[in-house]
Structure 1
Amino acid sequence: MMEDTPSPIDRHITGLTGKARPRICYLATPSGDLPAHLDKFHAAYGDLGCETSHLAFFRQPDARSILVSDFRARLLEQDAIFVGGGNTKSALAVWREWGLDTVLKEAWGSGVLLAGMSAGAMCWFEAGLTDSFWGSAYRPLDCLGLLPGGCAVHYSSDSKRRETLHAAQQTRSIPSSIAIDDFAAVMYVGTSINTVVSWRTGSTAYQTYCKGGTVIETALSAKQISV
């Protein structure tokens, strides 16, 4: 969604399903179901041989849509669900209003692969470090809680994210966290980290926690993937 050429992570996600033609549904709620994002998703994953669909709360349904009236059954049929970027706080509010948060937990428990970038990465954790309040600073936000701890994204591309995360951990306003660079991704099996992958030299993820008032940050080893 942020790259001008096909991203290796899309092929990697498709491969993780283990299906020749996986069913994958896109949730663009964080962007207000921006049509350009919907089109980019269908083009990218359609080119990878996926059976694509999307669930939109802010747009009229089209031939590619899962209907809001039937989203539980349809989401539980998916091999993967991918959440896009945007405003994490607003997306969580919409999901909780419609009961989608409960369905996502049910999908996770039944083995559906859950994935996403930016807001779509943070949403799965207990907390995320976000700019969703539209202020100048990043703030902790309670998220879905499927994965333990906190999450920060776009980590090395903006020094304020590292500074804010460390400060929040020192005040105990966000728990031990995973911080993810652009062009890197973290795969969890259950609630444990399984693999970190990267498709740009130097990009990785970090585990951060506070001990005795000092934040400890450890870079994780990343496996390189390519198109």
Structure 2
Amino acid sequence: MPAEQPTILATSGGLRRGHRTDLEFAPLLTYAVDLAGVEGRRPKLCHIGTALGDQRGFNATFAEAGEVAGVEVVHLNLFPMPPTADLLDYVLSCDVVWVGGGSVANLLAVWRVHGLDSVLREAWLRGVVLTGVSAGSLCWHVGGPTDSFGPELRIVTDGLGFLPYGNGVHFDSEAARRPAVLGAVANGVIPDTYCTDDGTGLLYRGIEPVEAVSERKNAGVYLVRREDEGSAVEHALDVRRL
């Protein structure tokens, strides 16, 4: 059941420690599943863990969390090879795609080798809800700060670009993130950039940001906008608490 229009929920959250399981779906991920509007059956979610190298142990933990949430989970592993010759059909059979965190640089390289970048664009246009955390948020945008290359943050500028903005994740929990975004926007390295504190997300319909949401009481979502040449200003957005 496709969403009514192309939908992305870009987050710095979505999973939490479970009560009887290692992990469970937190409100952001539950919200992403709800956005698919599935009725009369279990929603089907495609988990893509490329950014952590398709770790089978984490796949099992994530699938267990999905079972608790009443969601059917399948895994699109690209190591050592894709699960099928028809990746588009595989993704289109799902209602939601969740992309996990890790190395966004490695994720982008591996996806492009297998043509998954084009597959995900087509799925997005056909109404499969795209979502994810950290690298799984940054990937949908033009670029933003990443620790893919080491502890020192670097700015990637070769994101998928489905959304024509920069993206800053973990904005409140890693001290280097905020100045990295402000500097990159001020210098024109990345365009105006939407940033999420841990536990928050931003919903896009088409390429328009329409709602900031949070699974934490005091976490924020921000737009960092280039105001004058060489300067950028941070604007706090209204946030709905899930």
Q: TM-score w.r.t. structure 2 length?
A: 0.86
How many angstroms apart in 2 are the aligned matches of 1:82 and 1:55? 10
Residue 22, structure 1, aligned to residue 43, structure 2: yes
In structure 2, C-alpha distance between the alignment counterparts of 1:197 and 1:59, rounded to whole Å: 36
Distance 1:51 1:3 in 2: 18
CA deviation after TM superposition for structure 1 residue 137, in Å: 2.6
Partner residue, 2:4? none
Q: Distance in 2 between matches of 1:53 and 1:130?
A: 27
Q: Quote the residue 1:173 is aligned against.
A: 189
The secondary structure found in structure 1 opposite 2:85 is: helix
Please tell me whether the aligned partners of residues 143 and 158 of structure 2 are also in contact (alpha carbons under 8 angstroms).
yes
Residue among 139, 143, 160 paired with 1:123 = 139
1:128-167 maps to which residues of 2 (within 5 A)?
128-167=144-183
Q: Which amino acid aligns with 1:195?
A: E
2:86 counterpart residue number: 70
Q: Is the 8 A contact 1:149 1:177 kept in 2?
A: yes
Residues of 2 paired with 1:174 and 1:74: CA distance? 33
CA positional deviation for 1:155: 0.6
Is residue 45–residue 72 contact of structure 2 (8 Å, CA) maintained in 1?
yes
CA deviations over 1:174-208 (Å, ceiling 9, x no partner): 11100111100111111111111111121121000
Conserved 8 A contact 2:84-2:90: no
Query: 1: CA distance between counterparts of 2:174 and 2:71?
Result: 34
Q: How many residues align?
A: 220
Contact persistence 2:144–2:181 (CA under 8 A): no
CA distance in 2, matches of 1:203, 1:75: 32
Q: Which moved more, 1:110-119 or 1:32-41?
A: 32-41
CA drift of 1:128 comes to 2.5
Identity of aligned residues (%): 35
Assess if the C-alpha contact under 8 Å between 1:8 and 1:199 holds in 2: yes
For residues 176-215 of structure 1, the aligned pairs below 5 Å read: 176-212=192-228, 213-215=230-232
- List per-residue Cα deviations over 1:55-99 (Å, max 9, x = no partner): 101257xxxxx8232322111121111100000000100000000
1:63 alignment counterpart: none
Deviations 1:113-169 (A, max 9, x none): 000000000000111221111242332331001011100100111121101111111
What TM-score does the superposition give when structure 1 sets the normalisation length? 0.91
Q: Is 1:8 matched with 2:27?
A: yes
Do residues 46 (structure 1) and 67 (structure 2) align?
yes
Task: Note if contact 1:128-1:142 (Cα within 8 Å) is conserved in structure 2.
Answer: no
Q: How far apart, CA to CA, are the structure 2 residues paired with 1:95 and 1:68?
A: 14
1:129/1:141 contact within 8 Å kept: no
Matches within 5 A, 1:32-43: 32-43=53-64
Distance 1:209 1:11 in 2: 30
Alignment root-mean-square deviation, CA: 1.6
Unaligned runs of 5+ in 1: 61-65
**Conserved in 2, the CA contact under 8 Å of 1:125 and 1:148?**
yes
Distance, in Å, in 2 between the alignment partners of 1:160 and 1:10 is: 26
Tell me the distance in 1 between the aligned counterparts of 2:66 and 2:15: 14
Secondary structure of the structure 2 residue equivalent to 1:211: strand
SS in structure 2 of the partner of residue 133 of structure 1 = coil
